[in-house]
Every structure is written in C-alpha cells, then in structure tokens.
Chain A
C-alpha cells in the first residue's frame, strides 16, 4: 500500500513536469527587443528559404578546411552581425585606396578591402604605402529587403544635389558601376552608364546579391561563381561556396524583419520625435518611405520607417577619412538608417559603437560629430535645453 502510494506520487510528479514543459523554458524576448526573425506574411515555402538562409548566415563557420582566407576579416557572417545587429570594433573592416571619384588605384595590390587577419602560416595584408583608408563598423542587417524594394525613383525624388531649396542640405545618389551578375530592378534609372547604389556606408553597392557575394569574398576570403577572384593573389579560383548558399543568404537578408519601434506612445518619445523633425534631422534621416513592387509579396508596396534617404551627404571634415567609393566624395556618406539604433547595444557588447567606424560611444557623441550638411541640425541640437535633448535621444533609443 505504501509503495503504491509512492508510485502514484512519482507518476503524478512526472505528469506535472510533462504538462508544464512550456512553462519551464525561458521566455522569448519581446519581438521588439530583438532584430532577428522574418518579416510578417511569408508563405510556408518562403519560411523554409528563410530558415535555410538563417542557418547559412548564423551557423556556417569558415576555416581553412572550407575556404576561409588565406586572408580574411571574419570567419562567419554572424561574427560581424551578432543577432543581426550592428557589429563590434573587433570586426571593423578597413577599406583603402580611393580618394577621388576616378576609382580605386590600388585594386591590383589588394584594394579596396584590407584583409587584416590570416589563417595560421600566412601573413595578413597591410595597407599599401600612400593609400588612404577608412574603417567601417559592420552595420545591422535587418530590414534590408525594404531597402532592396524601394524604387530608384523614390530615391531620386529625395535628392537635391544643388540644394535648390536652400536648406543647406544637398543629398545625391551615389552613381556606381554594377557587377555583371546584378539583376536590374524594374524602373532602374541609368545615368551615363551608372546606377544608383543603395547599400554600404558610401552607397557603393547595388543590391543584396552583390553585398553578399562581396562579403563572402572580401570579408571571409570565400570565393563564389559571383566573386571568383581570390583576395590573396587576385587569381581566379574554383568556387568555395555554392550559388545556392549565396542565394539562401540573400533571401534571408531580404526577409529579415524591420526593427520594431518600442515605447512609441510614450510622451517623451513622441516629443523627441517632434524635436527630431523640428531641427531638420528628418531631412536626411527620412522617417517614412514606401517600397515598390517586389517578387516577395510581403515586401511589395509597404510603408516602412528606416530614417534614411539612401543619399550621399557631405558630413564635414571631422568625418572625412580621405577615402571613398563610387562617385562619392571623401566627406560624403550615405545617410545611415536609424531603425534598430536603440538595440545596437545588444549586439555591440553592451555599449554603443556608432558612426561609420564606431568612434562615437554615445548617441549624443554621434550627433555632435555631425558636420557639413548636418552642421545646422547639430547646432540646433546643442542649443536644445537638456531635457529636450534627453527626449530626442529617448526617441532615437526607441527606434
């Protein structure tokens, strides 16, 4: 009788444990607290493609056995984009060799990207004498499908190359050469044989396929049929990664969700957004844009809030590294998207590393390093009472 009672207790405990499984695992973070995850509205087939890309992006690690290097910057996509967020200075990459709009004169001696690491037994690359350079902290890679799906016309509509409206802000697209494998978007605008770049710190990349193939090649030293010249000796070699893998990652990047704003009904956040617009930050960090047609229905004709205009702006001397890409001038940078800014600390090791090279350790510092076309807005920010500054920063942190 006593034993039967014990057995019943044990069985009861096991049933209790079994039925409480869902409650014993740690909770998922709120959707607006993380950057990874797919956009809403993907089909089951697209979900499978997304997962394939997720595995390739966050799971694949390269070593000398599967194509890493010999020279490289990082050995996996996830090394630079932890949690799909902004990167940490330890994987900051360096570009060198172009100081004007005529092109990179160091392409045959390692340009444009420095591979500052090497597999054992090899030596990493060094910046050639006489080459100017700039350091680029890895950007967040969320919401990039929206970037891809915006039309060229929407971008040019925001441009004001000659500052016709006299507001001191004169954004213009970066007109670039595109790769042979890039597929032109519907409505692509061509000017003098050049196309509008939209990805990268200088908007020197046309699409996500180029961005991805280039990252495999230049960041990891992994060749594909798209980028088949080895960064080590500039020789054409067999692909080290399949086209399918590259395309899986492209699909993943296209369908990563856009960052979700937090606390958007908070009074300070609402006031901060108004201040942001009042001091003309929104003239470059455009609050809202619309995508055009897309072969992924969930991305077609959607309104999104990236806080960028995809245009180049002169940011002044302090941010002029004397290095450039495409037809951008050296002090010109593509307006970085501000969405996801508040979550940057969660992917950058608990602190901010902002601006193109991570030199700003707070949002306040980042604003104060603005110059050139942003000089007036910066001055207006400085003149704000401290509680208004706090509200504006609270708004930025909500993004």
Chain B
C-alpha cells in the first residue's frame, strides 16, 4: 500500500511537472562553466533549471567517450564508455536555507552514488551550517569535479587514484566567505564519517585511499566511531588567482570493538595545496593541485603499502579561437596540456635501503572545442610511464581518447 501511494505521488508530481514544461519558463544561468568563483562554490555554480513553481531546480551533466589505449604492445582495442550521468536537484527551502544534491551513475549503472546531498543554513556570509552528505574539501578537484569543466577525458590520477575523488561522507560542518575589495577569503570545516582499513588492505596492492569508497556503510555508520576532520582555507584575488590549503585527517582503523582493544589507533593525514589563475592578456588558464598523504601503516605489515604518498597535476588551457563557429555563437577552441605525477610509496626498502618506486608520470596534450561554455568536445593523447614497486623498467601506456561532456 505504501509503495502504491508513493508511486501514485511520483506519477502525479511528474505529470504536473511535465505538463508545465515550457521552454520560456526554464531559467538557465548564462555562465561559463570553465570559470568559477571559488572551488568551494562549485556545488552552487552549476546550471539548474527551475520550472515555474516547481519547488526544486534540476540539472546534471553527462560524459561519454571513446578510447584506444595500449600498454607495451597490448591493447584492449576500441572502447566506448558512458562514464557518467549525473543528476542535480536543488531547492531553495527558505530565503537562506538551501538543499543541494548530486546523484551520479558511473559506467552505466555499475556505480550509483549520492555524491552530495546537503542542507545549508546561512546565518551569516561568514557562518553557514551544512549537514548531510558533503564532499570533503580536500584539494580542489574533489569539490570541483564536474566533467564539462575539464578539457580532459580522464580525471587527474592524483585526485582519483591517490586522493579519493569523488570523496563524500555524511557529516556536518561550517563554511563562510568574506569579500574585501579584490579579495575573497573563505573557509570550510567538516566532521564526517571517514576511511576504513581497506586503505591498506585492497586489491590495488598499495596504500589506496579510494578503496574506502566501496564501503557503503559509511553513509550509515562510522567504521570506527572516530570522525574525519576536513578543513580548507582559500583566498582569491580577482587579478592573481585562487590559492587553497586543505587538510583531511583522522583515525582509519578499527582500534576497538565491543569495548575491546583491537589495535592501536592509526591515523591518516592528508595535506593539499591548489592554485588556479588566468594569465592576463594570454587568457591562459592554469590549474594545479598537489597533495601529500601520510598513513600510519603498521611496521609489521608489508612495505607494499607505503606510509607516504605525494602527487599532483597541472592543467594549462590556452584558448586559440574565440568566435562564432559552426553556428555556435560563443564557441572556443582550446589547446591544453596536463602533466601528472603520483608516487604511491615514498620511502626506501628496509632490506636494501633502495628507493621504493611505485610511481607514475603522465602527460596529456589535448584539443578541446566548446560550442557553448557548458559543453565540451575533447580529444586527448595520453602517455603514461608507470614504474612498479621495485623500480623495474616502466610500463608505457599511450593512446587517444575522445569524449563529449555537457551540462543539461
């Protein structure tokens, strides 16, 4: 009965919604998705459609791509992928109370995640309360990850294979901003559920923070009862650019259960710095992020799982042509390049004192075409050099990736 009632309500609401759709009533912000205010504003800085008196605004983005990659002479052939279909729902509940959410379907329906679903209360521009599923503000990419904003098919390796983007958890926190002439100062701080022991017990065979994303229970209960603290301060000068400093840390292991001590408390700490700017005159967009990860790995565990990691990326995007093309009034053709590096295991072997490798270098020249600011067609050439733990000859991977991504 309950299900029938729910179904009836959904049909009724949907019917009303569709009945009222009239293109003239849709409000689409006229904005350039590649140029945002602050990285922390990314969740607000999305195109939403508000249909008349419907209490919610809707939006989303989609990403699809083709790739042909090969490693050391071996290729998986031609691959077509529907990387993401993401739906946004937001609602202005009251003048200073907002609800924002992001539901993501990855690789078709292989992964379905609520990446963001928070209720924000604005008491003062400097004091906002946020509760729900929040995106932990570590680095810049985690919060500012929407596909149409980037000129590259793949997300940065350091952001997704070292840091766990997109990394979101249930929790509460505060954030605020202060504007002073050309400057914006901002902060965020959240306490959320956090990581678990899979970060050092996973099939990647390395310390791997993203492994905790597989723990669905984290939206219901904390793995160990210890909160994860994530905080960020950012400042932006309208002429210089934005600088962000962030920290995320907490205990990741189950140190006690049912009142019994199981292990000592083991922490992980992550520090990140991010920067973005637009070089005047050239109009070159530079976006960079670097992070350091420290994990307390038991000394009696295997050196396969490192205690220190570091890595980052820099994207340089140069608009080449900005004029109406193919009937698109605000078309832009960009040349871009991304350079990446991640060292998943920074340290030396205790047996030989030799360097532990387990790192990757990557370079991605790219061309992107933006028929509108919120849509991108991109062609990337990727080349990776990846070295195993022991420092044996690097495996080389290369190939082309072609993709489209757009907000809707």
Contacts and interface: CB of A to CB of B under 8 A. Distances in A.
Q: Do A and B bind each other?
A: yes
Interface of A: 3, 6-7, 14, 17, 21-22, 24-29, 60-61, 63-65, 68, 72, 74-76, 78-79, 82-83, 88-90, 92, 117-124, 346-351, 353
A348 B73 contact: no
Nearest to A33: B393
Interface in B375-408: 379, 381, 388-393, 396-400, 402
B392 A347 contact: yes
Contacts, number: 126
B352 A21 contact: no
A63 B201 contact: yes
Contact of B388 (A21, A68, A76, A82): A82
B72 A29 contact: yes
Contacts of B253: 120
B328 to A, nearest CB: 11
Given A24-B399, A26-B396, A82-B392, 10 more contacts: A22-B75, A24-B398, A72-B302, A89-B352, A90-B349, A120-B197, A120-B301, A121-B263, A347-B390, A351-B354
Given A79-B304, A120-B263, A26 B393 contact: no
A350 B391 contact: yes
B212 to A, nearest CB: 13
B82 to A, nearest CB: 20
A220 to B, nearest CB: 11
A348 B393 CA distance: 10
Given A25-B73, A117-B302, A119-B301, A61 B352 contact: no
Contacts of B115: none
Interface string B344-367: 000001111010010000000000
Contact of B69 (A25, A68, A349): A25
Given A75-B304, A124-B300, A29 B73 contact: yes
Nearest to B77: A21
B72 A26 contact: yes
Nearest to A121: B263
B301 to A, nearest CB: 6
A28 B301 contact: no
Contacts of A351: 354
Chain B's interface size range is 35 or more
A347 B388 CA distance: 10
A63 B72 contact: no
Contacts of B390: 82, 88, 90, 347-350
B301 A118 contact: yes
A83 B304 contact: no
Contact of B302 (A26, A28, A75): A75
Contacts of A350: 390-392
Contacts of B396: 26
A74 B205 CA distance: 11
A64 B300 contact: no
Q: 8 closest pairs, A vs B, by CB?
A: A28-B73, A25-B70, A63-B201, A349-B390, A26-B396, A89-B351, A121-B263, A61-B205
B262 interface: yes
A353 B70 CA distance: 32
Interface string B218-232: 000000000000000
B68 interface: yes
B272 to A, nearest CB: 26
17 contacts: A21-B400, A25-B398, A26-B73, A28-B73, A63-B202, A63-B203, A68-B201, A82-B388, A82-B389, A83-B392, A88-B351, A88-B352, A88-B390, A90-B349, A90-B351, A124-B300, A349-B357
Nearest to A89: B351
A116 to B, nearest CB: 8
A346 to B, nearest CB: 6
A90 B349 CA distance: 7
B298 interface: yes
Interface string B138-172: 00000000000000000000000000000000000
A76 B204 CA distance: 11
Nearest to B303: A90
B326 A120 contact: no
Nearest to B297: A120
Contact of B68 (A3, A21, A27, A117): A21
Contact of B71 (A3, A17, A25, A83): A25
B392 A123 contact: no
A78 B262 CA distance: 30
B200 interface: yes
A72 B201 CA distance: 13
Given A26-B397, A65-B201, A120 B391 contact: no
A57 B399 CA distance: 27
Contacts of B389: 79, 82
B288 to A, nearest CB: 27
Interface in B58-112: 68-75, 78
A100 B74 CA distance: 50
